Amino acid sequence: MDLNFTPGEQAFREEVRAFLERHLTPPMRRAVLEGLHVPPEETVAWQRLLHAHGWGGPNWPTEFGGTGWDPVRQYLFEEACAAAGAPRLLPFGLKMVGPVIMRFGSDAQQRRFLPRILSGEDWWCQGYSEPEAGSDLASLRTRADRRGDHYLVNGQKAWITLAQHADWIFCLVRTDQASKPQAGISFLLIDMKSPGVTVRPIIMLDGGHEVNEVWFEDVAVPAENLVGEENKGWTQAKFLLGHERANIAGIGSSKRELERLKRIAAAELKHGRPLAEDPFFAARLAQVEIDLMALEITNLRVLSAEAERRTPGPEASLLKIKGTEIQQALTELMMQAVGPYALPFRVEALDGAFAGEPVGPAHAAPLAATYCNMRKASIYGGSNEIQKNIIAQLILGL
């Protein structure tokens, strides 16, 4: 056993850091480091910049234009990007539909779709959930009926993250009404510009617009947009969910947020002394830092097992639960750190370009909104209750 990164891995990390130092401009970093809104154009611009450097697919094999990095290098890359305040890369193309197309897609689909994900030309969104099919995904009802060379799609998807910017949506649809729930599902790629697709915003509790309903009304989808075999979509869905959870521990971003919390605690005062020196607060901060330290090693254990076995196992559920608990605890402590100034809620102050009159310290402006928003983390991507069911069934065999 050796918990140190190899000299090669350390050199790699230095290379990534040097790259970030050179290419991430201070305005690009600022939004992420200060917890402000990152405009969608910035996310795309960052994908393009990475692509120009040959790093557009950090988790992709070289045969599809990716970097070919092993899980440890992927992790080091993500960690360095998060620490530097790089915009988060969109997972929908890179980590979700991309791997599915590589594994199950036709040559034509691979040639058509994969390069445009790397280059940032196509923005993808994930169309799995429906109003009546959340945790019980297999009960989904959006239907696709074969009509010659195309499918006719009807139904409604819900909670679709950033669908308002998306060019494409990958959907689970029911192609066989008669068979058992998991059996009649297919994986279909749908152009968001198709006639009959409607996107309606769902406003979140922090006032933000990041999720949407997507409605399909007699949408004609070419049959060539089916990925893999008809009625075998559940296999692909499970494959994808494993990948979706693989980096869900969010160690890199939690480390960055921990540093932000420490900066805030050093700047805030309690009884005229820095809050960081307050024993009550210091103990709570230390607890999160310790939890994160443990999770980082657990994460590396899972990654190195993954490097050997190649597909992420049910251990990813553990990472998801602990990772989101830590993310949420950090937002809670940041809010608590600023006392009464946590409560003012000015949406406009979350925009990096905000030039209005500040109230309270600048670091306080986004904290309440972020705390509220991050409640989503234990709900999406398979709720934490569902993840515990997976641990109980698949790891413990109960």
Ligand X SMILES: Cc1cc2nc3c(=O)[nH]c(=O)nc-3n(C[C@H](O)[C@H](O)[C@H](O)COP(=O)(O)OP(=O)(O)OC[C@H]3O[C@@H](n4cnc5c(N)ncnc54)[C@H](O)[C@@H]3O)c2cc1C
Binding site for ligand X (CB under 6 A): 125-129, 134-135, 159-161, 211, 376, 379-380, 383, 385-386, 389
From CA 153, how far away is CA 144, in angstroms rounded?
4
Task: Report phi then psi at 391, rounded to 5.
Answer: -60, -45
Q: Which of 90, 173, 369, 390 binds other proteins (CB under 8 A)?
A: 369
Cβ proximity to other proteins: between 136 and 259 the closer is: 136
**Does 274 interact with other proteins (rule: CB under 8 A)?**
no
Is 388 among the residues that bind other proteins (CB under 8 A)?
A: yes
CA distances for 366 relative to 82, 123, 220, 345, 376, angstroms: 18, 27, 42, 8, 16
Residue 244 a catalytic site member: yes
Would you say 334 and 261 are in contact if contact means Cβ atoms under 8 Å apart? yes
State which of positions 43-62 bind other proteins (CB under 8 A): none
Closest approach of ligand X to the CB of residue 12, in Å? 31
Structure tokens at 109: 């689909």
**What sign has the CA pseudo-torsion 131, 132, 136, 142?**
negative
- Catalytic hit among 130, 210, 244, 268: 244
Span of 44-52, 98-106, 244-252, 338-346 interacting with other proteins by CB under 8 A: 338-346
Q: Taking the CA of residue 273 as centre, how many other CA atoms within 13 Å lie in the half-sphere pointing to its CB?
A: 7
* Least distance between ligand X and beta carbon 265 (Å): 28
Q: Does 373 help bind other proteins (rule: CB under 8 A)?
A: yes
For ligand X, the closer of residues 126 and 225 by Cβ is 126
**Letter for the amino acid at 256?**
R
* Whether 260 contacts 370, CB under 8 Å: no
Q: Measured from the CB of residue 302, what is the shortest distance to ligand X in angstroms?
A: 22
What is the 3-state secondary structure of 216-228? EEEEEEEHHHEEC
Check binding of 26 to other proteins (CB under 8 A): no
Toward other proteins, which CB reaches closer, 145 or 213?
213
Task: Return the one option of other proteins, ligand X, none that residue 371 interacts with (CB less than 5 to 8 A, by type).
Answer: other proteins
Q: Is 106 in the site for other proteins (CB under 8 A)?
A: no
Element at 213 (helix H, strand E):
strand 209-222
Crossing angle of the two packed helices 251-267 and 71-84, in degrees rounded to 10: 30
**Which helix (H) or strand (E) is 334 found in, with range?**
helix 315-337
Q: Which does 126 bind (CB under 5 to 8 A by kind): ligand X, other proteins, none?
A: ligand X
Under the rule (CB under 8 A), what is the footprint of other proteins? 129, 132, 134-136, 139, 158-159, 202-205, 207, 211, 268-272, 280-281, 335-336, 339-346, 357, 359-361, 368-369, 371-373, 375-376, 378-380, 383-385, 388
Catalytic residues: 244
